[in-house]
Amino acid sequence: MCGIVGYIGNNAVADVLLDGLKSLEYRGYDSSGIALNDNAGFDVFKAGGKLNNLFDVIRNDAQKIKNPTSGIGHIRWATHGKATIDNAHPHLSNDGKLVLVHNGIIENYKELKAELEQEGFVFHSQTDTETAVHVIDREYKKCGSLEEAVRRGVQKLSGAFAFCIMHKDEADKIIAVRKNAPLIIGLSKNENYIASDIPAVIGKVKKIIYLNDGELAVVTRNSVVVSDLAGNILEKKAENIGFNPEIISKHGYKHFMLKEINEQPDIVRKVLARHVKDVFSPVDADGVNLNIDWNKVENISIIACGTSLHAAMVAKYIWEDWLGIPVNVEAASEYIYRKNTTGKGSLVIGISQSGETADTITAVKQAKEKGAKILIVTNREDSSIVRYADSVLPLEAGIEISVAATKSYTAQLLAMYWVGLYAVEQRNSLSAKNLADLKQGLLELPAKMEEVLSNAEKIKQVAENLNKYKSLIYIARGANQASALEGALKLKEISYINANGYAAGELKHGPIALLDENMPVVAVLAPGITYAKMLSNCEEVKARNAKLIAVTSVKDKAAESLFEYILPVPETEEHLSPLLLNIPMQLLAYYMADSLGREVDQPRNLAKSVTVE
């Protein structure tokens, strides 16, 4: 949550910072601000709401910008204190000489604040962050060195932080330091950058240094010196930046979400080309260190949040069937507080697109401490969660900018499918025919996904007819129960229409009371053992006058009259159907939200990486 940037160099500092913040908007958009250092002191500009407001503030106050040589910036997802200008970063010390931006949470801020107030420090915000400013400032006043003050100050803080810090009397440097929150340094000639994430430096630098927890960097125009909190200098390797600038362009799509939905067939094609080459070859782990003896795994727990949790639910359904191993799926935020039976024979899989979700990281860390083997499934191999991994399974979905997860969900499902089949081959737990059929089914997916996407215009029309409703219900059975939850989540998060997903069999145990002509029901129908029962549930819905929308891979003329709208997908095997059935629901949510004028890529109150528990 929150994005921070820093820059020192010859380019127009305000523009560089704003540009960096623009590409970190997915991390939060409650308020923003920058501090510019022109050697005579700091000019601080802040704005509430979206980053565009900060652009306006700076445009209007352009004459106030002197000749800055460095600066820091922040985009906020509010945790402590409302999204007001006072709470927006950067925060200044009482004498105005020290300024910082912060991503993370200072957990002991209440105690520190009480102590600092007693000592006469004055607070101007409700944030936890302001305590850090005063703690470091207090140290500076004792030792007179910014580097030393930061080193001493951060050791008094508990919780998570990534900071960029400047001091008026040491105008040639920015200090960057982190614990449990990401931070990178981008290296270039006569200039250096600091950022929470790579998109902020894409196209600007070719080499980056990843800071690890407990590392502090003194960044000047011509040097970056990294040390630990005891002051020992560390040799850090600069790595080539692995992202192509192209990926942060919308490529003509109105929103990143629509672009990312449309990328799905190619992602699936690319992943299959590496791991499931044809029907007869064994699944190829190809460079993925699946350092797991599948014959020794006694139980599996999959831990995740949100959309990633839905991918885990599908995996449980499929893997228990294919592998015969008990699979427990749990929201990471719940796993943490429960006595569980994870132990040495356990395989714990953490699924996280960002790899920065605090709940999932904490849960995985706990599981590791209990002796479980840890497999991390993530779209960001450079993220914090991989620290705890015995094996890492990269999603290869490419960077996802839209806050609502789409392509990463598909990539998560696909990862769980191919690894599932890989494990099947180790355990010999399916017949050769069954295995070959599943591989064939996977290989046919990209073309089938393209067929679904070519139906977008029809889905858009359906969306425009449904956007007047205040509430929708999604139902499904079997592996697609998660598809119903995911369809509903996608709709509510970007359109703000209330949407709830249910196992269809549960409808009659309560939610059916909600049904009338004002409550459309989206029914996800896959072929196989759940189909007949799903049709019965649809009859029950119809009998209560609710409009039914089918999302289905089953061609069933006899059932067509039940439905007001049918969003068809090509026929596919039952277990593989979640990969296809999800796509019309992504498009439905997208077009409903867009037709209501919502800010699709940046829904209110959300952020892409949820780095707080």
Distance CA 579, CA 345 (A): 30
Nearer to ligand F6R, 227 or 384 (CB): 384
Nearer to ligand F6R, 546 or 583 (CB): 583
13 binds ligand F6R (CB under 6 A): no
Nearest approach, Cβ of residue 383 and ligand F6R (Å): 9
Q: Return the closest-CA partner of residue 148 out of 138, 158, 156, 140.
A: 140
Contacts of 432 (CB under 8 A, 6+ apart): none
CB of 528 closer than 8 Å to CB of 478: yes
CB of 585 closer than 8 Å to CB of 331: no
Nearest approach, Cβ of residue 223 and ligand F6R (Å): 34
366 binds ligand F6R (CB under 6 A): no
* Binding piece for ligand F6R, criterion CB under 6 A, among 11-19, 70-78, 350-358, 554-562: 350-358
CB of 69 closer than 8 Å to CB of 39: yes
CB of 589 closer than 8 Å to CB of 495: yes
603 binds ligand F6R (CB under 6 A): no
DSSP 3-state of 392:
strand
Give me Rg for the CA atoms of the chain: 26
Within positions 454 to 493, which residues make up the interface with ligand F6R, using CB under 6 A? Answer: 489, 493
**Phi, psi (deg, nearest 5) at residue 463:** -60, -40
DSSP symbol at 282: P
Nearer to ligand F6R, 208 or 404 (CB): 404
Nearest approach, Cβ of residue 409 and ligand F6R (Å): 8
Nearer to ligand F6R, 372 or 397 (CB): 397
264 binds ligand F6R (CB under 6 A): no
354 binds ligand F6R (CB under 6 A): yes
**CA dist 326 to 317, 322, 405, Å?**
10, 11, 28
Nearer to ligand F6R, 401 or 489 (CB): 489
> Closest residue (Cβ) to ligand F6R?
306
211 binds ligand F6R (CB under 6 A): no
Nearest approach, Cβ of residue 72 and ligand F6R (Å): 25
Find the catalytic residue in 113, 179, 373, 608.
Answer: 608
Nearer to ligand F6R, 489 or 541 (CB): 489
Per-residue HEC secondary structure of 438-485 comes to: HHHHHHHHHHHHHHHHCCHHHHHHHHHHHCCCCEEEEEECHHHHHHHH
Nearer to ligand F6R, 383 or 577 (CB): 383
Find the catalytic residue in 2, 164, 305, 538.
Answer: 2
> Token digits for 152?
């001493």
352 binds ligand F6R (CB under 6 A): yes
Within positions 526 to 585, which residues make up the interface with ligand F6R, using CB under 6 A? Answer: none
Is 2 in the active site?
A: yes
DSSP 3-state of 351:
strand
**Phi, psi (deg, nearest 5) at residue 96:** 75, 10
**CA dist 456 to 13, 462, 578, 588, Å?**
43, 10, 18, 9
Nearest approach, Cβ of residue 304 and ligand F6R (Å): 6
Sequence length of the chain is 613
Distance CA 167, CA 575 (A): 59
Interface pick for ligand F6R out of 196, 346, 360, 530 (rule CB under 6 A)? 360
* Binding piece for ligand F6R, criterion CB under 6 A, among 192-200, 237-245, 315-323, 348-356: 348-356
Containing 258, the helix (H) or strand (E) segment is helix 256-262
Number of residues that bind ligand F6R (CB under 6 A): 14
- Residue recorded with tokens 């002051």: 231
Binding mask 289-328 for ligand F6R (x = CB under 6 A): ----------------xxxx--------------------
Is 344 in the active site?
A: no
Nearest approach, Cβ of residue 358 and ligand F6R (Å): 9
Contacts of 140 (CB under 8 A, 6+ apart): 98, 146, 149, 167
Binding mask 409-428 for ligand F6R (x = CB under 6 A): --------------------
By the criterion CB under 6 A, which residues form the site for ligand F6R? 305-308, 352-354, 357, 360, 404-405, 489, 493, 610
Residues with a catalytic annotation lie at 2, 608
